Chain A
Amino acid sequence: MNLDLLIAIFITVVGASTPILIAATGELVVEKSGVLNLGVEGMMLVGAITAFLVVFLTGQHYLAIVLAAGAGIATSMIFGFLTLSLSANQTATGLALTIFGTGFSALAGQGYSARPVTLLGPLFPAELATHPVLRILFGYSALVYFALIMVVAVWWFLKKTRAGLILRAVGENDLSAHSIGYSVIGVRYAAVAFGGAMAGIAGACFPLLLTPQWAERMTAGRGWIAVALVVFASWRPFRLLAGAYLFGLVMTMELYAKAGGGPLSAIPSELWAALPYLATVVVLVLISIRRDASTNAPACLGRPFLPSN
């Protein structure tokens, strides 16, 4: 295996990991505030069709990313209204949001499946972006760097800022946070909106970063991988980063192994496809064995906030 090939594999892994990482970073913040939004897949699809349509109609890739984030927020607000204002069951509402996003994006995308668009180009100038070695650092579009910056930003926000502390407090003990005067619902709305924006941008990665077209259900389950990844990372941003690249590596190495032959190609496709989920199950088992402070799951995760009870 030569250097060129290793670089090529790395670049493909980065591409495959990026949408998962962005969506999971958003979901991590949502879950840290005590809300479980299982509608990531649906919000990603709404983001994907929005980004596709904007690029198709205007050719503006950055506008497409911004509007995909907006569409993600709008979709997440349906979830927010039902679960936060009306205290509906978060699991059921999240599942419904995925079904809604799938259907809505299919409706909005009708008639656009035979229309190619263009990918978002590399951020850095061509001398760096296409350099045979340096492209491993500079050969990506802005979305890839955005994903990395957001991981650091979320870590800093949760760990180092007062607002992050409040968000974590709301997720760990909503009644206490409420009793000392913080708006639990307000904080959770903000977190859900952030998760929606990130899921929308993650969806935008599909037409802008991976395959420049619109296809119904084109996220093909990666929203669920993002949800699994948050648990896999036990709600820690840098573990999330490592996990996303690990999941991306697993998804990509399967294809390289099969196309190139060699010992790895003996592993059946079905096992490769199951590996991210198997890894998550293993992590869940490990977490439940070490049932102490290190589990790190927000104590109020998935519980509606009902102060009158």
Chain B
Amino acid sequence: MTITRRNILKIGGAAAALPLLGSRAFAQSEPLKVGFMLIGTVNDNGWNFGHATGAKFMKDALGDAVAEPTIVENVPEGPDCERVLRELAQSGHKLIFATSFGYGDYVIKVAQQFPDVKFEHATGYQRSDNVATYNARFHEGRAVCGTLAGHLSKTGKAGYIGSFPIPEVVMGINAFVLAARKVNPEFTITPVYISTWNDPAKEADAARAMIDQGIDVIAQHTDGPAALQVAEERGIVGGFGQGADMSAFAPKAQLTSIIDNWGPHYVEAAEAVIAGTWTSGDRWPGLKEGEVVIGPYNESIPADVVAAAEAVKNGQIDGSFNIFTGPINDHTGAEKVPAGVTLTDAELLSMDWYVEGVNPPA
């Protein structure tokens, strides 16, 4: 449904009558309205596409129990997102997913004004009684990609196109190079931050800048397939699909992909709100729960390399392997995590240092 002034007035009137009916009655008679706030467009074939696919999965799974999900696209991380959140809450949405890191402060602020609305903030760290955070352990997928890179790279040099140096991105870089260095101890990775989530021409130029300087594997944390297309055109070892399978853009260069699968989490959250059992907290599932999925491997990859990647994947699924178990040195070579110690989730979520093998940016 589209949010128009008229609709808001209509729903506002319904909401005003609500206390007379009692909220339980409302929950039973009306389908749950779920809102999604996205930083980009659902057509990006990456991050936002993943969330929109999750929203559709939720609607398909729960049928008439939920209304057609409201998806608001292209909401910048700034004051405007506060307005969008408030409009969603005022128009009767009882569960709102804010799916970008920079929404955090605004979610907390608006949530205080709407105590009966449940908010979930993806990749965030601030919580309250009605604000939960959720994320996916993408770094588990990065460890699988890093294993492939360690085996396949000829120059031993990878590039990593990042958006901003937030913990989410830093831990992905670290997981990637830790896994690659288990195969090739000389492996290095160079992060290039481009200060945007969506500027395909800049992503492509970043990939060109990397390849021209001897990098033959590219990983990216931005949303589109531009870097993979350059990898395909230049015929380097390859890169990885981010958020979704991107083999259509780079049939030879996409080694594998990390696929976001938010659907099951959205079903679970909506069911909890309908049943009245929703509680705040932090949910961070990964490969094991199927929220992070490794796409098909490129046919050109030798079977023993695929087996090594699968071993890393399965080790993370059964819990026998954790990429962030020591010994881990930081980029200066000083020991940061002693042997046998595993970084806690809290340490991961505030990660602001690079491991050995990363050429740290300024």
Contact = CB atoms under 8 A, between A and B. Distances in A.
Interface of A: 5, 8-9, 12, 15-16, 106, 109-116, 119, 206, 210-213, 215-222, 251-252, 255-256, 258-261, 265-270, 273
Q: Which of A213, A222, A256 has the most CB of B within 10 A?
A: A213
Interface residues of B, number: 41
A66 to B, nearest CB: 22
A2 B13 CA distance: 70
B319 to A, nearest CB: 35
Contacts of B264: none
A273 to B, nearest CB: 6
Contacts of A255: 192, 194, 202, 205-206, 208-209
Contacts of B212: 5, 8-9, 12, 256
Contacts of A270: 195
B213 A260 contact: yes
Contact of B198 (A9, A106, A217): A217
Contacts of A8: 208, 212
27 contacts: A8-B208, A12-B205, A16-B201, A16-B205, A110-B43, A116-B248, A210-B201, A210-B205, A211-B226, A213-B249, A216-B74, A220-B196, A220-B198, A220-B202, A252-B205, A255-B192, A255-B205, A258-B191, A258-B192, A258-B193, A259-B159, A259-B206, A259-B215, A261-B359, A266-B362, A269-B193, A269-B195
B153 to A, nearest CB: 15
B257 interface: no
Interface string B238-258: 000000000011000000000
B150 interface: no
B361 A258 contact: yes
A259 B198 contact: no
B4 to A, nearest CB: 16
Contact of B190 (A5, A222, A261, A269): A261
Contacts of B201: 16, 206, 210-211, 218-220, 222
Contacts of B191: 258
Given A216-B44, A255-B209, 18 more contacts: A5-B212, A8-B208, A12-B209, A113-B44, A210-B200, A211-B201, A213-B229, A215-B44, A220-B201, A222-B201, A252-B209, A255-B192, A256-B209, A259-B209, A259-B213, A259-B215, A269-B195, A273-B195
